[in-house]
Amino acid sequence: MENYDLINCCNQLEGNVEIIKKREDLWDLYTKKEEYNSPFTDKYGRFPYYLSKHRNIFEPTISQFLIGNNLELEYPENKNFAVCLTHDIDVIYPDRIVPSARAILERKFSDAFKIPFSRIYRPWNSCWNFRQIMDLEAKYGAKSSFYFLALNPGEQDFNYRIEDLEPVLRLISDSGWEVGLHGGHESYNSFEDLREKKRRLEKVLGKEVIGYRNHFLRFRVPNTWELLSKAGFKYDSTFGYPDCPGFRNGMCHPFRPYNFETGEKIGILEIPLTIMDRTLGSYMRLDLENAWRLAKQLIDTVEKYKGVITILWHNTQMQGENLKFYENLLKYCSEKNAWLTSGENICNFWESRVHS
């Protein structure tokens, strides 16, 4: 085991503290050595939390270590910590049969009538809610990132043509929010697919796309980072567990990934994912009270270490109790003097710190 300086491997933190060396336990966690060529994955080829040897997922062990060694961080406008707000846009046109049947069973006959026509009449489409999301976030002085799929017809989970969304993409971007790429099922493992989808989205958007998250959080350490860097992305925000919130490699700060096999840093910034809506509900099956308790615990922890907490809330989860939960997150973080912003703004801020 060579001597490594963890700060030098976290490009954006380098030079801020003197760090002790030969901490193999921290180094293995930071690089996620256990995930290299793991023969065990879930049905989507992901390395889930339940397979990890690192069980203290709710404590950012390495960020805690860095702060304990006098790492000092300052955010714009004297904010205490940062919240990276993100939305994966998997579905714009909901399935017409299942929701209609559910609405009938729940005796919501008006909804049952509207759903079949929601594709052609947008006010009846609950998934066409980009402006509503932006208006809600603006209420708390926030910006966010919208990651759109650029799938071709016939690809798994194809739901919309990115070329049909030019007006809404331009609206989001021109308003100061971010449009990023949501890679398809196989993008995480294919440079050609990443490059093709990035170019298609950029052509529609009319500007460079720098941010990325893969569909279903499919990710392979360190291969996906290498492919994203090669494809020209500046940051990724896929790196989080689908089955449990928290800090996958002990970091609650953006970091430069390190390739354990080549011994070199990778040219991309990772803004690790902390909380996903479906993790709390579908995977952990938490009720609203316990989900809120866990979310607050994670927010308080990130505040303690002056870190960045990344929250993923799908556009399809912006109704009813889920919408209220998201607004409560915005309100709670705002009251704690957090910088609520997009992945693009976090990335640009971190890059400016490195090169200043």
Distance, CA of 3 to CA of 249 (rounded, Å): 19
Contact 295, 284 (CB under 8 A): no
Per residue in 185-232, pLDDT (tens digit) is 999 999 999 999 999 999 999 999 999 999 999 999 999 999 999 999
Mean per-residue pLDDT of the chain: 87
Backbone angles phi, psi at 155, to 5 degrees: -75, 150
Q: What is the CA radius of gyration of the chain?
A: 20
The residue type at 313: W
Residue spans per domain, the chain: 6-92+129-355, 94-126
pLDDT of residue 354: 58
CATH no. for 6-92+129-355: 3.20.20.370
Evaluate if pTM is beyond 0.85: yes
Per residue in 141-155, pLDDT (tens digit) is 999 999 999 999 999
Whether omega before 222 lies within 30 degrees of 0, making that bond cis, reads yes
Judged by average pLDDT, the poorest of 13-27, 246-260, 284-298 is 13-27
Contact 126, 95 (CB under 8 A): no
Q: In the structure encoding, which two tokens stand for residue 309, read together?
A: 């907490």
Decide: residue 32, CB within 10 A, 0-12 exposed, 13-18 middle, 19+ buried: buried
Residues with Cβ < 8 Å from 44, sequence gap 6 or more?
A: 216, 218, 242
Distance, CA of 148 to CA of 127 (rounded, Å): 13
> Which residue did the predictor score with more confidence, 27 or 3?
27
Q: In the structure encoding, which two tokens stand for residue 21, read together?
A: 């060396």
